[in-house]
Chain A
Amino acid sequence: MKKIRAFILLVLIPILLLAVWFAGSLFFNKAESFTTLTYRSNDVSFTSFPNEGILRNGEKITGSFNAHEKHLGTVTLLLNESIRQDDDYYLQLKIRKSTSNKWLYEIKDRSRSFKEMGHYTFGFPILNNNKEEKIVFEITAEKIAPYNLIKVSKKNLLLNTKYKFNKAEIVQSPLRFLSFVYTKISLFITNPEMLIATNHFFIGFALYMIGVLYITKRLTNFANVTLALIALDIILVRTQIGVINVSLFLLLIASVIQNKKKSAWSLQVAFALFILSAVFSIFGQYTYIDKASTWVYLFLIVFTVQKVRELRFAKKL
């Protein structure tokens, strides 16, 4: 009986919660519908590329890549710009199959209207291409202000390609369905942006595991449970939520008092979180810095109070 209970608590429920994470991420993902496959890496061979990677007015970037799947519908470009919001310019993408000289789609838009975090996503009616078929593209920018700099890199220019399938095609046979789900999951777990976009489905699993670890006395320390919850707050809760923040801070104070933690502990955590913020900054993950640095500050408050009490100043200045 004990074994069955342990199996349910330690294996079955965690697997179910992980399944919730996967299912939620695959079927209820606002960033991407279930029938879409997103490929990150794209081997592009360029036929023309600007000098020093600086994109100038009217200059063209041309190249080709092999489609990973059928039904290409979106390409995302990554541009590194030193640009101000009001200095808009036009960006044009043309796309065709290598077998024909006729451009199938020409999409032109003001840069600001479809920019998101330096990514430019061009959507177009689904291409009737074959898997591995060579696709040719041409990128042109216009009306770039003279003091703006738009840099492009051969390595990361074509960031994402998306392929949109229709439902009937996916469910035509169980094998096809499983194969699609397998591809979807493998693409999902290797795509950090997608993992970040769906991390709220992971909260249930994480909270459950903390609870289990505490009950089974693997997390022996109340303060460590608080730490784990704070880590979850930083990684999984993307916005600052006052109630969560206050609750965790009060929990932190309570756990410091209960576990008689010294100031060194608070300082170590603050320092670790600061290093984490530094790492986030190097990798451009600015949303995480907000949360991590908030906790650096709150831990420093706790440290200061602890330290002042520990030092027991007697002599006046």
Chain B
Amino acid sequence: MGKILYYCGFFLFIIGLIMYPYYLFEGKLFIGGDDTRLLYVYPADFLKNWAFYTWNSVSSVSFNNPGFHFIPFLVFWSGIDSIIRNKTVINYLAFSLPLIVGFVFMLFFLSEIIEKKRRAEYFVAALMYAMSPIFFLHQYPIFLTPVWLIGLIPLVLYLGILYVKTKRFVYLVILSGVSILFSFVFYTFAWILGFIIPVLTGLVFFKILRIKLLKNENWRAILVVLFAIGLPQLFWGIPFALSLFSNTEASLSSRVFSQQTTDTFSPTVLSTAIGNIFFPLTNLFHRQIILDYNWSSIGSFVSTYQRILPLLFVFPLTIFIALFLIGKNIQDKIFIKKYMVFFVIFLISLYFFTVNIGFLKYAFLYFGRIPGFVMFRNFYDKFEIGYVFFYSVIFCLSLVLVIKQHPRIGKFLLALSFLSIAVASYPNKELINNEVWRSKGYFKTVELPREYLDFVNDVKKIVPEDEQIIGIPFNNAAYSVILDENSKNAYVGTSPLKILINRNDITGDLSLPAEGVERINKFILDRNYDEIKKVLYEYNINYVMVTKNIPYKFGFNYFVETKKNAAQDKAFINAIAKEKLLESQKGNYELYSTFTKSRIFSENISYRRISPVSYEITLIDKKPENVVLFKETFHPEWKLMKGADYNPFAKEVGKHLPLQPYGNKWEIGDEEIGSKFYLYFQPQSYFLIGLIITVALYTIFIIMLKKYKRNIYK
């Protein structure tokens, strides 16, 4: 009977999680922000327009940013999309999946590491994990790629443990499959390291105390599991790693590991390490960060969480009771050992999630000297998922221990913790479907209006793929604001033009290099229209797209400074735009041509664009000065070769130099008129190299494993 009830409850809860977004978002799309989340709604477009290339631009000038890691998931999700054929349903499914996978596999993982017959304890601990207020305060509302780790970590660990225990080959195959499907999640390696670092530090701790944790065969099995996960990632890992080595302005590494990022490590840590371990121990996010940085969740924190705080003490209380009981009358030494291992890792992850723990804060600042550690400057974000995971595990182990020793107290704590989780989920809707930052009454869920979608489809017919658009108002980010037709809601995020119609628009300060931003902002404020036209010409911008329905209340001065916004008035549009080419149905969007028509190549070249990474070009005039000018961000690996086709062994033609202020220049010498050239972005070929290496190494790995399995584990 109990078993039937449990399974009924389990399936009802899964159905509840599937339906949850319908309650949270009330039928509107949950899209926007830096990552747009449009990939979950328009996966096929995202795949076609972005994921296949290593040279990419989304509302910014192009740079070397390989997107291959998205391919497997987008292929899979496009298949789901073609079956479901409803944007809202597929959007909501994407939201529910990390929660469901996280909940289900946390439950399975706990049953594997503890013992089978503890269903109620595992249910509550898995619930505590998937429904953690920490995630609802910080991860789910922004829903960036790392949110998938909430599901993926327990899933991978569960499959890994099954393999370590049974050595059955099928688990490795499933693990590799999961690893390939979710390659885009493995791309968020900083968050993965946020999970791994506490584990490794814990292992070092036990090593120092000379305590051996696992049998040698289990260590070897873990190594095999790591290979099964890691090898399938090489198809994108190799081009990505190589892109890190190319130290140019247009490389990803130059953005991630820039001097500016390094220099801001200590100030960022010092200004955000203001929490303490108390609130994380009650399964809440750092109160002081929310208050000091004026997060939109401030109201929920004050009105709900602080009121139910005594109820949330049940989690640390259970752990303390278990710690008091540990070693007393418990014969199961394996259980105690597991408990202590997870407790150590939990303590370490608590430190990394908090940092502000007395003198240990200075140790963290010192870690900033380790190359690459700067990626943890927003530690509370990177270590958060690992922390909640280990907290849930140690809570579950504590609950089991207390129930074993004192069943009555244990069951009371179990019921109380279930109640706490339920009560703490009360403000979830307010937290997820929250207001646009400082917008005074505009919410983030949206229905993209028909007017906008029709308009951008018409834009696609007018604007060629290799020419760019400037979005007005030119704002402080690289954002577009698209107002919902029937409510005050709005899409606020990176411009969706690239994903929807494969056209790039330059919309704000983050779209251009620093030099370009400085100039354009100055000229806008000075109303120096001739100079603005010059900047547009230099950056190959031939169209102006004006959004007219952004209300003043919409956080101006934060979205665009008031002065800068005021300067982008009718006179400004008339001065930089030549002719109105298009107007949307209700007049909220307009497209204009610019006065001076720019070209991606110099006038002496005729060309055919094959893809964003390859062009077939012909020299039609020797002027100016036997050069080829190419208006894309300078990168030394743009390779100009002779001939009409791509030849990987062909020699580079001419001298490749940066064009000031923007672009590439080749001095090609005395070439004949009519000569044909092929321009190719060399790092694109690394994808193929990565793919070949992945298949080859993975095949070798599987064959070796099949052949020498017995010897490996002996």
Interface positions of A (Cβ within 8 A of B): 82, 84-86, 145-147, 240, 242, 245-246, 249, 264, 267, 270-271, 274, 277-278, 281-282, 286, 289-290, 292-298, 300-301, 303-305, 307-311, 313-317
B contact residues around A85 at 8 Å (CB): 294
Q: A residues within 8 A CB of B215?
A: 316-317
B645: shortest Cβ distance to chain A, in Å? 59
Given contacts A293-B277, A293-B278, A296-B277, contact A311 B336 (CB under 8 A): yes
Interface class of chain B by DSSP: helix
**B184-208 near A? 1/0 per residue, CB < 8 Å:** 0000000000000000000000100
- Is A145 a contact partner of B440 (Cβ separation < 8 A)? yes
For B287, the chain A residues whose CB sits under 8 A away are 286
A289, B323: Cβ atoms under 8 Å? no
* Per-residue contact bits, chain B 324-365, to A (CB 8 Å; 1 contact, 0 not): 101100000110111011011001001100001111111000
Would you call A315 and B320 a contact (CB within 8 A)?
no
CA–CA, A242 to B440, complex, Å?
42
Taking CB as reference atom, which chain B residue is nearest A270? B320
Q: Does B303 contact A (CB under 8 A)?
A: yes
Give the 8 A-B CB pairs with smallest separation, nearest first: A245-B358, A293-B278, A294-B358, A293-B276, A245-B359, A246-B359, A293-B277, A290-B276
Q: Which residues of B contact A301 (CB under 8 A)?
A: 347
Return 5 A-B CB contacts under 8 Å, by A number. A278-B310, A294-B277, A294-B356, A296-B277, A303-B323
Q: Knowing A82-B299, A313-B333 touch, does A267 contact B214 (C-beta < 8 A)?
A: no
Checking A86, A277, A307 against B327 with a beta-carbon cut-off of 8 angstroms, the contacting residue is A307
CA distance A249 to B363 in the complex (A): 14
Residue B636 CB within 8 A of the other chain: no
Instruction: Kindly identify, within residues 398 to 445 of chain B, every residue whose CB is under 8 Å from any CB belonging to chain A.
Output: 438, 440-441
Task: Say whether B244 faces chain A, with CB atoms less than 8 Å apart.
Answer: no
A305 to B347, alpha carbons, bound, how many Å?
12
Specify which chain A residues have a CB less than 8 angstroms from the CB of B298 in the assembled complex: 82, 84
Nearest neighbor of A240 in chain B, beta-carbon distance = B358
Q: Which residue of A lies closest to B302 (CB)?
A: A82
A297-B350, A315-B333 given; name 5 further pairs at CB < 8 Å.
A270-B320, A277-B278, A278-B310, A314-B333, A317-B334
Docked Cα-Cα span, A305 to B343, in Å, equals 11
CB distance from A290 to the nearest CB of B (A): 5
Does B323 lie within 8 Å of A267, measured CB to CB?
yes
Determine the distance from Cα of A309 to Cα of B334 in the docked complex, in whole angstroms.
15
Residues of B within 8 A of A271 (CB): 320, 324
Residues of B within 8 A of A316 (CB): 212-215
Cβ–Cβ contact A308 & B209, under 8 A: yes
* B residues less than 8 Å from A314 (CB atoms): 333
Residues of A within 8 A of B214 (CB): 316-317
Assess the B303–A309 pair: CB atoms within 8 A: no
- Asked whether B262 is an interface residue with its Cβ less than 8 Å from the other chain, the reply is no
- Complex CA gap A282/B209 in Å reads 39
Which of B211, B218, B298 has the most chain A CB atoms closer than 10 A to its own CB?
B211
Give CA–CA (A300, B340) in the complex, Å: 12
- Name the one of B288, B294, B340, B357 contacting A307, with C-beta atoms under 8 angstroms: B340
**A293-B278, A317-B338 known; A309-B209 Cβ under 8 A:** yes
Contact of A313 with B357 at beta-carbon distance under 8 Å, contacts A82-B299, A267-B324, A303-B323 already known: no
Measured between beta carbons, the chain A residues less than 8 angstroms from B302 are 82
B211 engages A308 (CB within 8 Å) = yes
Residue numbers in A under 8 Å from B343 (CB-CB): 304
Contact of B320 among A274, A286, A298, A311 (CB under 8 A): A274
Q: Which of B277, B303, B310, B327 contacts A282 (CB 8 A)?
A: B310
Alpha-carbon distance between A193 and B542 when the two chains are bound, in angstroms = 65
Taking CB atoms, residues of chain A closer than 8 Å to B288 are 286
User: For A292, what are the chain B residues with a Cβ–Cβ distance below 8 Å?
Assistant: 278
A146 to B488: give the CA distance in the assembly, Å.
Answer: 15
Question: What is the bound-complex CA distance between A311 and B340, given in angstroms?
Answer: 10
Q: Nearest residue in B to A81 (C-beta to C-beta)?
A: B302
Q: List chain A residues, Cβ under 8 A from B313.
A: 278
**Taking CB as reference atom, which chain A residue is nearest B216?**
A316
CB neighbours of A240 from chain B (8 A): 356, 358, 361
**B213 surroundings in chain A (CB, below 8 A):** 316-317
Which of B276, B299, B316 neighbours the largest number of chain A CB atoms within 10 Å of its CB?
B276
Across the interface, do B327 and A310 meet the contact criterion of CB distance under 8 Å? yes
CA distance A85 to B290 in the complex (A): 11
Give the residue name and chain of the B residue nearest to A148 (CB).
Answer: B299
A86 partner, pick from B299, B361, B438, beta carbons under 8 A: B438
Please give the distance in Å from A305's CB to the nearest CB on chain B: 8
Is B702 among interface residues, defined by CB-CB distance under 8 A?
A: no
- Are B337 and A317 interface neighbours, CB within 8 A? yes
How many Å lie between the Cα of A198 and that of B211 in the bound state?
Answer: 49
B17 at interface by CB-CB < 8 Å: no
Smallest Cβ distance from A135 to chain B, in angstroms? Answer: 32
Inter-subunit contact B334/A315 (CB<8 Å): yes
Set B327, B333, B357: member contacting A297, Cβ < 8 A:
B357
B550 contacts partner chain A, Cβ-Cβ < 8 Å: no
Most buried by B among A85, A146, A298, A300: A300
